Every structure is written in structure tokens, then in C-alpha cells.
Amino acid sequence: MRALKTKITRLDMLMFFILAAFCVWIAYRINFKVHYNWNWGVMPQYLYRFDAEEGRWVAGLIVQGVFITLRLGIYSIVVAMVIGTVMGLFRTSRSPFRRMVGWSYVEIIRNIPILVWIFIFYFFISDQFIPIIDLAGSKSSFTRDLVSFLFISPARFPAFLSGLMALGIYEGAYITEIVRAGIQSIDRGQWEAASALGFSRYEQLRHIIFPQAAKNVLPPLAGQFISTIKDSSIVSVISIQELTFQGMELMSATFLTFEVWITVMLLYLVICLVCSLAAERLEIHMKRGVV
């Protein structure tokens, strides 16, 4: 494939100068027209600080929120992938009952606002089984340390697990449609050829359909993973101490409104940008047949 030649036109230059002028105007308004005392000097201690008692550097409130956001995003996308794959297979199944189950799941979940779904799951659904998991009272220090390392402090684990499951189920509805579209994008002749070779439907999916569909679904799956990280900010409403929650707590304590939220915004931007670039590299490798 021939590389596209890049050419900077006068229109491109005009748009660049307009954008630059707009950025300069915004910076001017913030610095000279907004009556706000900037205090960026105190922000580093909320990222990392030196603990004199322990004699080492420890994560500040904001970085602690980043770690929980990453855990929440990764675990919930794993749950969403499992649910989405199963329901995607249901959506393309020959069984009318399975197709009905898959369709009902997608239509119900996708047509509920995520904030409403978080509240419904936390107060009505998870309340029935989450209290069974009482890790805060566990006598095993190893269990408590392991839960703190992998998830969150044992006392907050029920809320964390509730938010994780709610996000996983919600995002799973979108992944269901991605998987369904990926399977249906494979030419019907591939199914017929595999069937003629005597493959069962499971073998057709495993050896013929899924390897080809994976290349088609990777870009939207990467976008959904990034969307899950951003949607994880919603669970701050049930007091999970992820990045947005820590930002709200820090803003309430310090009144550093702009500094806190600009920092939180930049951290979300960095996380999502890194995930986007990693997904792009993986997509390139898959197209080259490396993966």
C-alpha cells in the first residue's frame, strides 16, 4: 500500500493559527480575568510524598485513586469480556431462546443510564449477596493483605466488588454487540466450508471464525476498554476511592478547585492515551500476522 503524501494547505495553516489564538485567549482569561489564587506548589505532595515515619516515598491521595481506577477498569473489562463473549454467542446462536436472552440483556442494560444502573445494582441487587463477603473481619492477615494489594482495603471491598460487577455487566452489553458484529462480519462461506470439513459449531468458532473476527473487533474493544476506564468515575457516587472520588475529597479539603481537577483530567488523559496507543500497536501487529 502506497503511503499517503502529506501536504499542508493554506486552510490548514489558517485553522492552526485560529486554534493557537484561541488557546492564547483562554490562557489570558484564566491568568488575568479569573480572580483565582493559583497554588500548584502543593499538588506534588498529593501525588507522592516522603513519609518520615516509614522512611520512604509513598503514594499520595491522587495516585492512590489512580491505582484503584486501573484495578477497577481492568477487572471490570475482564468481567465485561466474559459476559459479552457469552452473550455475543447467544445473539448469533441457532437457538431462539438463547437469541432472546442475549437480545433482552442488551436492550435492557443499554437503555438504562449508567448512573441509575449503579444505584440499582448497589442498593438493590448487590445488597442481597455482597454482605456475605465479610473480609473486614477476616482473622487471616494474609487474606487482608492480599485483598488490599489486588483490590482495595477489606473494609471497602464490598462496595468495590459491587461497583466492579455493575460496570462489568453494563459494559458487557456493548461488548456483546461488538462480538456479535464481529462474528456476523465473517463471510457465510467460511461457515459452510468449515461445516463441509466436518467441524462442529464449537470447532468452527474456535478454529475458523474467532481468529478472523478478532481482527475486526479489536479496535472497538479497545475503545470500549478506554470507555470503561472513563465510566469508572461514576462509581465515586457509591464511595469507591478511585481517582474522581479522591479528587472530590481533595478539592473539598483544600479548595484547590482548578489545580485538583486539571491534575485529575491530565491523569485520565495519560491513562486513556497510553491504552489507545497500546491498542493501536497491537492492531498493527495483528494485521501483520505477528499475533
Return the pLDDT at 133.
60
Return the pLDDT at 254.
86
Return the pLDDT at 138.
57
Residues in the chain: 291
Instruction: Encode 250-277: b = buried (16+ Cβ within 10 Å), e = exposed.
Output: bbeeeebeebbeebbeebbeebbeebee
> Domain spans of the chain?
41-288
DSSP of 173-192: HHHHHHHHHHHHTS-HHHHH
Which residue type sits at 259?
Answer: E
Return the pLDDT at 173.
93
CB 221 within 8 A of CB 175: yes
Q: Which three cell numbers stand for residue 10?
A: 493554506
Which residue type sits at 195?
Answer: S
Return the pLDDT at 290.
46
CATH level 3 topology of 41-288: MetI-like fold (1.10.3720)
- Integer-rounded Cα Rg, in Å, for the chain is 24
Return the pLDDT at 284.
79
Instruction: Please state, in angstroms and rounded to a whole number, the distance separating the CA atoms of residues 114 and 68.
Output: 19
CB 264 within 8 A of CB 243: yes
pLDDT in tens for each of the 291 residues of the chain?
455 566 778 888 889 899 999 989 888 887 776 777 888 888 888 888 877 777 788 888 899 999 999 999 999 999 999 999 999 989 988 889 999 999 999 999 999 999 999 998 888 877 776 655 655 555 667 777 787 788 888 778 888 888 899 999 999 999 999 998 888 888 877 777 777 777 777 777 777 787 788 888 888 888 888 989 988 889 988 888 889 999 999 988 888 888 899 999 999 999 999 988 888 888 777 777 644
